[in-house]
Chain A
Amino acid sequence: MSASNWTADFLGQLLNATITVEQISLPATTLWQIESHQWQQFAELAIQQNVRWVAGWAEHVQDRFFINACFEKQGVYLLLRTIVNAAKPELPSQATVYPAASRSERHTRDMFGIHFTDHPDNRRWTRHQAWPEYSFPLRKDFPVQGAPEAITPPDKDYPFVKSYGAGTYEIPVGPVHAGIIEPGHFRFQAVGELILNLEERLGYVHKGIEKIAEGRTPEALARLAGRVSGDTTVGHCWAACMAMEQAAGVRIPPRAALIRGILAERERIANHLGDMGAICNDVAFVFAQMQLTRLRELWLRTNAMVFGHRLLMDKIIPGGVLCDLSESSCTLIKQDIIQLRKELSEIMPAIDVNSSLEDRLYTAGYLPEETAAAFGTLGYVGRASGQDFDVRRDAPYAPYDQVTVKVALENQGDIASRLWVRYKEIRTALRLIEEFIDQLVAGDIGSEWQIPATGSEGLGIVEGWRGEILAYIRFDADNKISRFYPRDPSILNWPALEKLVLNNIVPDFPVCNKSLNGSYSGNDL
């Protein structure tokens, strides 16, 4: 990721605006450091250049906090950093400029006690009642065990937005939902059946992932990363390993990269199959659910046969992959692909021409292009609303740098569009797997691990099945992790749900939610 033209031009503009930028060289990442009081001003200039806000996180280093924000334009990533003193951790908020940064800054405030001035929403986010307001779990002096009460009380006094007026009422939903899904709370304001407002309250599955990552070895961190969100085990594990490999200066062998690509595309297909069925099931079209869960099961059985795990957990390790692919496995995978294509070519036309699906899925859950852009919406949700971005194509990493990735793009922005974008992504993924198998070169599937220097850092960015995943790693001495931050695409996609359900009816909420399918676990960390 070398700095291309826009960063050079942008640097000039920053200097004109008297923002002092210190350029720090990191392997594979452009890192700029600025003064903390210019944090917001930087964002204002960046948004004028249509630079996308990607992620934000902080780090406690001795008596200082490093605050990071990652930006992207035209496939070039820029890491921005500022340092504040722990005695007065305060800086102007970027959320006033980038709505996408809002929850991230609230998370940083809850976890580090860093105050973002002028933040548009000063309510707690990740913190419920498991730790007190003025103690901060990600500070280094906070013990990993904390000091919890025997029974953590519910967070019953969270100040939700209220609605007033005759005929409006509230529907609280969750955290325990009716289906077999993850926990979270949704607060609806409705009039009749129409949704006036939806507010999400997440954080219920906060498991302290960032804290318990500290002090781990690279192998143990990869295992943890594989459980940030169980449906994206390959994606998160890959991003984390990529970050660690960058920090340690380890290059993975070409064969390992190709196998990682195959794993990631298999994960994409399995999830899309399951979700497409579930979307149809949420509008009572059981045919699709039964057919597609059947195909998903067959797909997972091949995973178990070839890789030894149905969901492909722990197959990516620092330096490479754990399992090789034999000739016979490649043949099996290829036969599977032919079979899946054939089945889908029979099932999808039946879904396409069904009038009850047409009735329920078209125009429902509409996410306008501008809203998608404002929230930095990712993956199939963004791509169904005109956001033409895919890491595999725009910032390619091995093995995607050897192939052409065709990115599905639509701008209808409704549930149907998100469904069809996913179908197109399955088709692309199937072709990619075939290409990777054809390119499979002989050789090692792992490189020897090098112990990284104390303080070395890395930034791994991959396209998971939900969209762009970012993982930041810093090493301490003796091969131990000092900071791990995974940014699941759900963190940016959840706010879009609050917007796309507006003016839909309450009974359509499940299908709207499923069409986006954010991860609760990946969001709550």
Chain B
Amino acid sequence: MLRLFNKIRKTGIVTETFKAPKDAELEQLGIEIKRHIDRKFSGSIAIREVDAGSCNGCELEIHALNNPYYDIERFGIHFVASPRHADVLLVTGPVSRHMQTALLRTYEATPNPKWVVAVGDCAACGGEFGVSYASCGAVSNVIPVDMVIPGCPPTPLALMKGLLGLIK
């Protein structure tokens, strides 16, 4: 146990607000996100992530938003387990035809007002997979999309920037 506490103490807080001035851009972004969220959502926004056919690359970077460097929750942005709890659907991947109904139902299950963010090049335009017998292509071919965060995959910073764009 002592080892564990020692390591925590030695690691300190790595969250970049306080430590890394070279990533000042991130901090500025985050604070701006918080200001906008505060105004419209009383300090909190709930995101349901839906993989509608992605290669898992985007998921890895969305995960990174929760690591101690980005710690996106401190800005009031958190991920929830059900669309019923969500304000925003973060959708990745070209929408595979086998996921089309599941995505539509998830969209319907999300209460209004809601926003849809298409994350990654595939979600934006079909990417490397396009439209085929197995793929519907862009998310906007299936449900209304409010904004797009491009990238293959988008970096955690790009994701934060994108969320800010949505709330503005």
Contacts and interface: CB of A to CB of B under 8 A. Distances in A.
Given A145-B131, A230-B55, A294-B69, A183 B60 contact: no
B76 interface: no
A228 interface: yes
Contact of B99 (A153, A183, A347, A519): A183
Contacts of B98: 128-130, 152, 155, 203-206
B3 A350 contact: yes
Interface string A218-249: 00000110011111010000000000000000
A182 B10 CA distance: 35
A180 B159 CA distance: 15
Contacts of B67: 290, 293-294, 296-297
A204 B52 CA distance: 8
A6 interface: no
B64 A137 contact: no
Contacts of A233: 57
A206 B10 CA distance: 45
A356 to B, nearest CB: 11
B3 A144 contact: no
A10 interface: no
| Contact size range, A | 35 or more
Given A151-B100, A204-B98, A130 B51 contact: no
A481 B10 CA distance: 54
Contacts of A354: 1, 4
Contacts of A179: 81
Interface residues of B, number: 56
Interface in A166-185: 175-176, 178-183
Contacts of B75: none
A287 interface: yes
Contacts of B102: 154, 175-176, 183, 204
Contact of A205 (B10, B81, B93, B127): B93
B140 interface: no
B3 A208 contact: no
A287 B8 contact: yes
Contacts, number: 172
B134 A211 contact: yes
Nearest to A313: B152
Contacts of B11: 291, 294
A9 interface: no
Nearest to B15: A294
Contacts of B79: 180
A77 B64 CA distance: 39
A350 B4 contact: yes
B101 A153 contact: yes
B17 interface: no
A230 B153 contact: yes
A268 B120 CA distance: 23
Nearest to B152: A313
A145 B51 CA distance: 22
B68 interface: yes
B128 A175 contact: no
B63 interface: yes
Nearest to B83: A176
B97 interface: yes
A346 B64 contact: no
B126 to A, nearest CB: 10
Interface string B54-81: 1111111111101111000000000101
Contacts of B101: 151-154
Nearest to B103: A176
B51 A227 contact: no
Which 4 pairs between the two chains have the least Cβ-Cβ distance?
A146-B133, A230-B57, A208-B134, A178-B81
16 contacts: A145-B132, A146-B134, A148-B97, A152-B100, A155-B98, A176-B102, A178-B81, A180-B49, A204-B96, A227-B128, A230-B60, A293-B63, A293-B66, A304-B155, A347-B7, A521-B54
Given A287-B4, A294-B11, A297-B69, 20 more contacts: A131-B133, A142-B133, A144-B133, A145-B132, A176-B83, A182-B56, A182-B59, A205-B99, A207-B135, A212-B132, A229-B56, A231-B56, A231-B60, A293-B64, A293-B66, A294-B67, A297-B67, A310-B61, A350-B4, A350-B7
